[in-house]
Amino acid sequence: MSLKKDYYNELTNNYKNENYSFLVNKFYLRLINSKVCLTHSEIF
């Protein structure tokens, strides 16, 4: 499973929706729960 790919797919699929901030929050919560540390530069 690729967290970067999941994030990119969710972001692009929902970019035009009002759920943008929700998806970002969900992504970071998933990272915290997975004990994975990624910086913005690593994601983008």
The angle formed by the CA atoms of residues 5, 35 and 20, to the nearest 5 degrees, is 45
The angle formed by the CA atoms of residues 3, 12 and 28, to the nearest 5 degrees, is 40
How far is 41 from 13, CA to CA, in rounded Å? 21
One pLDDT digit (tens) per residue for the chain, 44 residues: 567 777 777 767 766 555 666 767 777 777 766 655 555 555 54
- Would you state the pLDDT for residue 44? 46
Domain span at residue 29?
Answer: 3-43
Domain count along the chain: 1
- Would you state the pLDDT for residue 29? 74
- Would you state the pLDDT for residue 16? 58
